[in-house]
Amino acid sequence: MKIKRKIVKIDEMLCNGCGQCVSPCAEGAITLENGKAKVLREELCDGAGFCLGVCPTGALTLEERETENFDEEAVKEHKASLVKEGLAPHIMSCHWCGNSEMIQPLLPVKTNGDSTWVCVKCLPQLIHG
């Protein structure tokens, strides 16, 4: 079912294919195709925009438009199939200690102009130094 909502927009002219936006997407909705980032299926993108801050070229924005409704069940099935195939770019690790999100919950953090992901174990060090 189509509704009007926010969804990620990728400017192909600006995208350099670095792939940095693939793993921050918790839904595994972004893939690389022919050297360019692409939203795999519109119902997989929740429009939260966690990918925006990691793009070095500003190719990612959010736009509000008519599109497929976000589908949590489709996301679950998609993620399960990625894990089954050994392709799980949405499973992330803490950029400080390397712990997988399967071990410690991760939080998105902006620091020194960069977007990063830090696990709850490392977050106090980041806050208190």
What is the C-alpha to C-alpha distance for residues 12 and 119, in angstroms, rounded to an integer? 32
Piece in contact with ligand SF4 (CB under 6 A), picked from 40-48, 51-59, 64-72, 78-86? 51-59
Identified binder of ligand SF4 from the candidate list 25, 29, 44, 60, rule CB under 6 A: 60
- Which CB, 10 or 119, lies closer to ligand SF4? 10
Residue 115 interacts with ligand SF4 (CB under 6 A): yes or no: no
Residue 19 interacts with ligand SF4 (CB under 6 A): yes or no: yes
Residue 17 interacts with ligand SF4 (CB under 6 A): yes or no: yes
What is the C-alpha to C-alpha distance for residues 76 and 28, in angstroms, rounded to an integer? 10
Q: Which distant-in-sequence residues (6+ apart) come within 8 Å of 30 by Cβ?
A: 8, 21, 22, 37, 38, 39, 40, 45, 51
Residue 37: name the closest of 1, 80, 62, 8 by CA: 8
The residues of the shown chain that bind ligand SF4, judged by CB under 6 A, are: 10, 15-21, 37, 54-55, 57, 59-60
